[in-house]
Amino acid sequence: MRSSSINRRDFLKSAAAAGGGLFAAPFLNCGKLGVGRPMKRVFGRLGFETTTLGLGGQASLQWTPHDVDPEKIILKAFSLGINYFDTSNLYGPSQTNYGKAFRRLNLIPGSPGYDEKLRRSFFLTSKTHMRWAKGLPEVPGVNNWTNSPDQQKSAVLDVKRSLSQMFGDGRGGYPGGAYLDMVLIHSISSMAEVDAVYTGLHKPDPGQEVIGALAALRDYRDGTNLTGLNPGEEKLIRHIGFSGHFSPAVMMEMIQRDTEDILDGMLVAVNPNDMLYFNMQNNVLPVAGSKNMGVIGMKVFADGAMYDKDAHWSSQPEHVVRRIGSPSLPSRPLVEYTVSTPCVHTVIIGIGEISENSRKCQLSRNLSDAQVRITDMKDSRRREIEAMAAQVKEGKTNYFQGPPRGLTPVQAPRAVRLNARPGQIRLTWHTAFAGSHPIDRYEIFRDREKIGIVAHHPQITKDPFEFTDKAADPQIPDYQVVTVDRGGNRAVGEVKIKD
């Protein structure tokens, strides 16, 4: 059916018209709760201003209850001024639901009335869980998942599948001019997966039997064919990023290996119970922030585990949370907590239900709650919210996150005698991991005597921290690098000299 031309301003007018347009007036009046123009933040180095709330691609967009229309949720988000939209190749019908809404909004390139200005006004992200773009070797610790029926499964096919489902015929075809603002390599969880996605990146060769996702995604970002996987030299994506729920250490490794600044964005699980686990806030978030990556927060409600749902992955409509908060834990402080977390630019939340009643409209309430600046919340208030959330399920809500480690010693400490300068020894190490407090410094000890201090900074490359002892004893000394956090906690790392 041919779509009518509706830009955002006309969309708002027509949707509000009683008995006309896309919806009746009671639907649109499900409540802005005082939000006029939604607050925006500069999205890292991506050159876009994103609203502090984005629409998540799961909940009722994926596991749709029988009495919910997912298309209306998407259209409602547009009407409220939300401009960040999330989906994935793993989210069942989520992408096709976006496709239905995009047709209503005339967002199909090449179609009559295509609204290119509206398309430029929002940011659309999809994801691939494929670690490989060519070849499918079975490697321990590397998980490849896709809903694509094509037997030649790859990250490239996932990109094209996204475009086909949202802008094309849903069977593999997509129109010229269709693009994704960003593709995330989804849920990186092991060092083996980092190895996989980086395979062939630095020396791309079409003759390689196995090529990782990053090299091919770069081709489809730049319109190149270095991998031999983009023969048409198409430009289908604008930015590349990754996501993670489980291990900050793995996510930090993903960023540190990116010597070419290919990774522009990161989606990360952050909520008030983050600190009860191997936390993201004091580990990977400062690294991403130091590289000015666009950061999206997720799992604000721990996939519903903060409320009615048990702490496990959702997989059916019954798992979708369709109410707002609870008497013991309102939703507002949870949203405010994540939105005000340093380095986070926007937060995606899946929507179970919208309503004509403004107090029951999840989308409107979440948008209202997300009108927060990073500087608005004091540390004391963050601790209060953490204490409140920790009472839910005894704090065992973040099933997707690794167990706590506390403050750790430095990684891979090493001492090497500088032969060109007798009596000098150079110590190197990689970052320690933080517990409940950020790391402050590293104290250097020789034979139990403190001889120096090195300030901590987020380690954004594989270049190690270093310290040179210029007055080493001719005898082989013992060294320690002691990690000290801002809470005064200490973790000792022994260093052995390698001659």
Q: Is the pLDDT of residue 48 over 60?
A: yes
Which token pair is 197?
Answer: 């996605």
The 10s digit of each residue's pLDDT in 460-471 is: 999 999 999 988
CA distance 3 to 99: 12
Task: Grade residue 136 by pLDDT with cuts at 50, 70 and 90.
Answer: very high
CA distance 236 to 157: 12
Q: Where are the domains of the chain?
A: 8-395, 411-498
Q: Is the pLDDT of residue 472 over 80?
A: no
Mean pLDDT for the chain? 91
Which amino acid is residue 102, in one-letter code?
F
**In a 3-state reduction of DSSP, which class is residue 210?**
coil
Residue 308: the pLDDT is 87
Residue 420: the pLDDT is 63
Q: Are 135 and 210 in contact (CB under 8 A)?
A: yes
Element (H, E) at 181: strand 180-185
**In a 3-state reduction of DSSP, which class is residue 399?**
coil
Residue 418: the pLDDT is 85
Residue 277: the pLDDT is 98
Gyration radius (Cα) of the chain, Å:
25
The 10s digit of each residue's pLDDT in 357-397 is: 878 899 999 999 999 998 899 999 999 999 999 999 999 99
CA distance 349 to 303: 9
Number of helices and strands in the chain (H, E):
13, 20
Residue 349: the pLDDT is 98
How many percent of the chain have pLDDT more than 90?
84
Q: Is the pLDDT of residue 15 over 60?
A: no
Q: Is the pLDDT of residue 10 over 80?
A: no
pTM (predicted TM-score): 0.91
Minimal CA–CA distance to 292: which of 257, 265, 268, 269? Answer: 265
Q: What is the CATH number of domain 8-395?
A: 3.20.20.100
CA distance 302 to 304: 5
Which amino acid is residue 89, in one-letter code?
N
Task: Grade residue 443 by pLDDT with cuts at 50, 70 and 90.
Answer: very high
CA distance 123 to 364: 19
CA distance 105 to 125: 18
| Range with lowest mean pLDDT among 10-19, 22-31, 115-124 | 22-31
Alpha carbons within 13 A on the beta-carbon side of 255: 28
Torsion of CA 406, 299, 188, 438, to 10 degrees: -30
Contacts of 293 (CB under 8 A, 6+ apart): 44, 45, 241, 255, 263, 264, 265, 266
User: What is the distance of C-alpha 327 from the center of its chain?
Assistant: 30
| Range with lowest mean pLDDT among 458-462, 469-473, 484-488 | 469-473
Residue 476: the pLDDT is 72
Q: What is the CATH number of domain 411-498?
A: 2.60.40.10
Minimal CA–CA distance to 461: which of 424, 430, 415, 421? Answer: 430
Complete edge-to-edge strand list for the sheet that includes strand 490-495: 449-455, 439-446, 479-485, 490-495
Q: Are 279 and 434 in contact (CB under 8 A)?
A: yes
Listing DSSP states for 321-336 in one string gives --S---SSS-HHHHHH
Q: How many residues does the chain have?
A: 499
